[in-house]
Amino acid sequence: MASLTPTPKQLQAMRPEAKENLSGREAYQRYGAVAVQVLDEIGARILWMGQQKLVFIGGAEQEWDDVVCVRYPSRMAFLEMIARHDYLAATYHREAGLERTALLCCSAGSAS
């Protein structure tokens, strides 16, 4: 039966990244260049970033290529960031470069 709606795979093939033969990492790096600038402008900073090497406890659903920990000055700063036109335009590349993502909102605490 014919469909009036393209499949996710068909939509993905129409993205500029598909025509440029960009890898997911290259597309995500385009997003990252904008995101780093925006983070600086709103007063946020990257505390830590690295690549996951193994899952010690958990299953395959816990496997990630990269992990980034960002400290935002406030929740409002985060909301300001995701509403900015320059950031929103860059999320196109973020979506093209990621298979999945997770954002965790945490509060500061002590280790004791």
Average pLDDT over residues 7-11: 68
What is the overall mean pLDDT for the chain?
86
Please state whether beta strands 66-71 and 45-51 pair in parallel, antiparallel, or not at all (unpaired): antiparallel
pTM for the structure as a whole? 0.73
Average pLDDT over residues 81-94: 94
Instruction: Decide if pLDDT at 70 tops 90.
Output: yes
Is residue 42 within 8 A of residue 80, CB to CB? The reply is: yes
Report domain extents, the chain.
Answer: 44-49+65-97
Give the Å distances, CA to CA, from 68 to 12, 32, 81. 25, 11, 16
- Say which range, 45-49, 59-63, 93-97, has the weakest mean pLDDT: 59-63
